[in-house]
Chains A and B, each alone.
Chain A
Amino acid sequence: MAGTQYRGSDIKDVDQFLDDASGLESEREKEIGQHIGYRYDVNLVPDYERITPFLTKYMEVMGWEDLNWLEDIHMGYEDGNAAVFDRNINGWVRVPDTINLPDNQQDRDMIARELLVKYQMSDRHPLVNLRKAYRKY
């Protein structure tokens, strides 16, 4: 029978998955060699007092009064590195080491949103070539 109870571990610290890439804490996680669940709080809603000027401008250009789809964007952690999940390529995009990470998840999430928008709207995003290859001419 598919899983019958939650056996994962809780997220305790903002640097937890930078310090411990595997994130194996509970007995079950150690047993199966896999962290159970997300590596960040997917339900964390944004603190609008921490919004960046770029994101404010983005909202204005799009005609939105809040972060809209970016409310679901968070900074996550992949193989011990800060990264953001890009739904358009269905994969993680890493945050360069040159960017200093703030000490709280809310500010990190704002950085993640800004980086993701710039990346998705750039010519180097894989969707650009994908569209050229498969669009109707």
Chain B
Amino acid sequence: MAGMSDVDLQAMSQEERAKTLGMTTEQLTGRSLFVEFDADAEERFTYPWAADVDYNKRFELDTDELSSTQVNAKMRALMEEGYGTIVIKNPRGKHGLGVGILSRLNLIYEGSLGYFAVGLIDGPNVRINGRVGWSCAENMMAGTVIIEKNAGSTFGAAIRGGDLVCRGSVGSRTGIDMKGGTIIVGGDTGALSGFMMQRGRMIVCGNAGKNLGDSMYDGNIFIGGEIKSLGVDAVTAELTDIDKSWLRRKLSLYEMLPEKGVDHFTKVVAGKQLWNYDNLEPSEKKIIL
């Protein structure tokens, strides 16, 4: 099946393609799938399908007259041509720009973006010389995103990896449902930041609004200013030397280390009182299993 060409696959229906490539639709419940690493795997640094781009090959794209879909399609075409640095001129607050980029790329926006900017990305380094709307970098997997001004609500919603940085202030529910990665805010963050956070790290150099870390499951939140109130099951914890060292390192990377250092930061973690492993009695559990 590995030898099947794209032309052959294109001629098939989606169902035929899936079957030909060995995928099944059978029920897997209760079965374990055994997968093992290859100890002698080849050294590769990008996905097999990723375009081979050169950071030194640069293109400036004026998007004044283009729709979001056209801009995203053009960016993909440029990456296929090997452009590793793309500068977007006049984005004019368009929504959903730069979503779904799954390879390395230097992406620079000369202006502000609307909602869902650079969502679902896996690898690129993005700089936005302006503001962003809500849900910036939603579901981000890897890479770096730096916003030079302020950001809207649900900044970094469900982020899973990478560094998401806002030099200004952000709205409410920052890092809602985050499952990994690092969110850094230079200014303040709004209410319910870290709501249902499951993993990852959030650093806020300024103040935090009400209900910080509400219902968080795990992960760390570091606040440099005042906390209006903690949410349900969010508790303060000791800021360890490892934490301080990591904070200094991370903030220095983005030239955001406060003059007075990091010793004044408050660390917030899950109190683990809502962990619901015991939400079913053993007898009920046995019936379900």
Do these two chains really belong together in a complex?
yes
A33-90 interface with B by 8 A CB criterion: 33-34, 36-38, 42-43, 45, 48, 54, 57-58, 61-66, 68-72, 84, 86-87, 89
Evaluate contact between A3 and B274: CB separation under 8 angstroms. Answer: yes
Evaluate contact between A72 and B14: CB separation under 8 angstroms. Answer: no
Evaluate contact between A134 and B37: CB separation under 8 angstroms. Answer: no
A95: chain B residues within 8 A (beta carbon): 36-37
Answer yes or no: B287 CB below 8 A from chain A CBs. Answer: no
Evaluate contact between B47 and A121: CB separation under 8 angstroms. Answer: yes
Evaluate contact between B282 and A72: CB separation under 8 angstroms. Answer: no
Known: A6-B272, A66-B253. A121 touches B46 (CB 8 A): yes
Evaluate contact between B276 and A133: CB separation under 8 angstroms. Answer: no
A36: chain B residues within 8 A (beta carbon): 275, 277-278
Taken residue by residue from 116 to 132, chain A's Cβ proximity to chain B (1 for < 8 Å, 0 otherwise) reads as: 01111111110111111
Evaluate contact between A98 and B48: CB separation under 8 angstroms. Answer: no
Taken residue by residue from 1 to 39, chain A's Cβ proximity to chain B (1 for < 8 Å, 0 otherwise) reads as: 111111110000000000000000000100111101110
Evaluate contact between A122 and B41: CB separation under 8 angstroms. Answer: yes
B49: chain A residues within 8 A (beta carbon): 128, 131
Answer yes or no: B242 CB below 8 A from chain A CBs. Answer: yes
A131: chain B residues within 8 A (beta carbon): 49
Evaluate contact between B161 and A63: CB separation under 8 angstroms. Answer: no
B279: chain A residues within 8 A (beta carbon): 1-3
Evaluate contact between A54 and B43: CB separation under 8 angstroms. Answer: yes
Answer yes or no: A108 CB below 8 A from chain B CBs. Answer: no
Partner pick for A69 among B6, B33, B142, B275, CB 8 A cutoff: B142
Evaluate contact between B39 and A65: CB separation under 8 angstroms. Answer: no
Partner pick for B23 among A37, A54, A68, A133, CB 8 A cutoff: A133
A117 to chain B: closest residue by CB: B45
Please report the total number of A residues contacting B with Cβ < 8 Å. Answer: 65
Evaluate contact between B37 and A43: CB separation under 8 angstroms. Answer: no
B122 to chain A: closest residue by CB: A69
A82 to chain B: closest residue by CB: B37
Evaluate contact between B9 and A132: CB separation under 8 angstroms. Answer: yes
A48: chain B residues within 8 A (beta carbon): 249
A19–B86 alpha-carbon span in the complex (Å)? 51
A123–B2 alpha-carbon span in the complex (Å)? 10
A105–B243 alpha-carbon span in the complex (Å)? 17
Known: A31-B282, A36-B277, A96-B38. 20 other contacts (CB 8 A): A2-B279, A3-B275, A36-B275, A37-B272, A37-B275, A63-B106, A66-B253, A68-B144, A69-B142, A69-B161, A69-B162, A71-B161, A96-B37, A98-B39, A118-B41, A121-B44, A121-B45, A122-B38, A133-B9, A134-B14
Top 9 closest pairs, chain A to chain B, by CB: A69-B161, A6-B272, A69-B142, A121-B44, A72-B180, A118-B41, A3-B276, A2-B276, A137-B10
Which residues in B have some Cβ–Cβ distance to A below 8 Å?
1-2, 4, 6, 9-10, 14, 17-18, 21-23, 33-39, 41-49, 55, 104, 106, 123, 125, 141-144, 160-163, 180-182, 199-201, 218-220, 242-243, 246, 249-250, 253, 269, 271-279, 282, 285
